[in-house]
């Protein structure tokens, strides 16, 4: 009995960190990159009556067209994605940056002070100080010779930056639409021109309406805890919202560009009526304009739907 308990304890501690078997507690992020779909979730080490265990991150690499799982690898204890460029997945684990290969899950590079000096000749004098900017996606480095550099983990770019300032880039408008959580904007000026927004009215910040130039095109169409998650071919918008203020389940709503009509809608209950989200465990959405697909998760399953119709393309278990 004692030996069996020890084995269970070791497995409960080692598996989440190194092997990564088991159902996810939550999905942390969904991204399309390098022709693949990346789903980052976490499982936990064995806990106790007073400790719920440590979250350990995993990466699932999935074919975005078929839902076929290509690869799964672990990132060790809780980790956040800083950026993806090409085959390289940039990860921050307790502010220790590590680069992984999306192709095989191997560690490509660990960004220690010693390794940075080997990788970038500009740092051959050694590193005096490192600070973080842009929510831990920008490493601000001061070399021992007094010169300053930035390493941007969202792009992988390393560059000279006097005073650690980012280089000024000439603004060139694309005139394309883009979105934030609460606004659809057109890229025709430095900060964009707002096309429509999600706003409350009459002091009620909980119920939100689609608003165009302070006008509500469809007062019967409202949302709770809403955010834009996709622009489909510049012709319609997709919004995620909560069914109630308890935030236990979600719905996806595709609306016309004039914000008057609902083109399609998905309610969580269509796929899983029993699972409940929470303030800690929240829905995550991925969108690919190239694939014209939206991806979301519920409990142990990832679903992909056509962004034009809302029809299910595939589903796969994590």
Task: List residues bridging with 71 in a β-sheet.
Answer: 61
On average, the pLDDT of the chain sits at 87
pLDDT of residue 49: 54
CA–CA dist 12, 143 (Å, integer)? 42
Query: What is residue 159's three-state secondary structure?
Result: strand
Least confident among 65-69, 192-196, 295-299: 192-196
Give just the sign of the alpha carbon dihedral 39, 281, 19, 78. positive
- Give the pLDDT band of residue 5 (cuts 50, 70, 90): very low
Domain 177-317, second-level architecture:
Beta Barrel (2.40)
- What's the pLDDT tens digit per position in 147-203? 999 998 888 889 888 877 777 778 888 889 999 999 999 999 888 899 999 999 888
Q: What percent of the chain has pLDDT over 90?
A: 55
pLDDT of residue 123: 92
Nearest-CA neighbor of 138 among 117, 156, 113, 120? 156
Least confident among 17-21, 211-215, 283-287: 17-21
Domain ranges of the chain: 1-92, 111-169, 177-317
Cβ 201 vs Cβ 209: under 8 Å: yes
Q: What percent of the chain has pLDDT over 70?
A: 91
CB count within 10 Å of CB 159 equals 12
CA–CA dist 219, 259 (Å, integer)? 10
pLDDT of residue 167: 72
Cβ 93 vs Cβ 110: under 8 Å: no
- What's the pLDDT tens digit per position in 80-91? 888 888 888 988
Q: Which two tokens stand for residue 68?
A: 């076929």
pLDDT of residue 133: 76
- What's the pLDDT tens digit per position in 216-226? 999 999 999 99
Task: List residues bridging with 90 in a β-sheet.
Answer: 83, 99
Inform me whether the pLDDT recorded for 209 exceeds 90. yes
pLDDT of residue 48: 52
Cβ 93 vs Cβ 42: under 8 Å: no
Query: What is the radius of gyration, based on Cα positions, of the chain?
Result: 22
């Amino acid at each position: 009995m004692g030996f069996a308990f020890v084995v269970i304890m070791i497995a409960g501690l080692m598996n989440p960190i190194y092997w990564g078997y088991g159902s996810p507690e939550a999905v942390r992020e969904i991204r399309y990159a390098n022709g693949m779909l990346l789903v980052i979730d976490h499982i936990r080490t064995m806990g106790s009556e007073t400790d719920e265990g440590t979250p350990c991150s995993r990466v699932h690499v999935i074919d975005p067209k078929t839902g076929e799982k290509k690869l799964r690898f672990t990132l060790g204890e809780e980790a956040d994605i800083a950026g993806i460029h090409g085959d390289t997945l940039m990860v921050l684990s307790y502010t220790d940056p590590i680069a992984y290969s999306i192709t095989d899950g191997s560690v490509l590079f660990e960004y220690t002070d010693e390794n940075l000096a080997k990788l970038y000749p500009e740092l051959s004098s050694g590193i005096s100080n490192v600070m973080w900017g842009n929510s831990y996606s920008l490493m601000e480095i001061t070399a021992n010779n007094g010169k300053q550099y930035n390493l941007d983990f969202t792009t992988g770019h390393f560059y000279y930056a006097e005073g650690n300032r980012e280089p000024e880039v000439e603004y060139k408008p694309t005139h394309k639409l883009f979105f934030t959580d609460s606004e659809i904007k057109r890229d025709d000026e430095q900060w964009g021109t707002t096309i429509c927004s999600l706003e409350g009215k009459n002091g009620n910040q909980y119920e939100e309406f689609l608003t165009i130039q302070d006008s509500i095109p469809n007062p019967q169409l409202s949302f709770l805890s809403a955010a834009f998650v996709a622009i489909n071919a510049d012709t319609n918008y997709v919004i995620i919202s909560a069914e109630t203020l308890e935030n236990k389940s979600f719905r996806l709503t595709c609306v016309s560009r004039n914000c008057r009509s609902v083109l399609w809608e998905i309610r969580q209950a269509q796929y899983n009526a029993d699972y409940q989200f929470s303030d800690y465990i929240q829905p995550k959405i991925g969108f690919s304009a190239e694939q014209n697909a939206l991806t979301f998760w519920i409990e142990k399953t990832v679903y992909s739907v056509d962004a034009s119709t809302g029809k299910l393309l595939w589903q796969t278990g994590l």
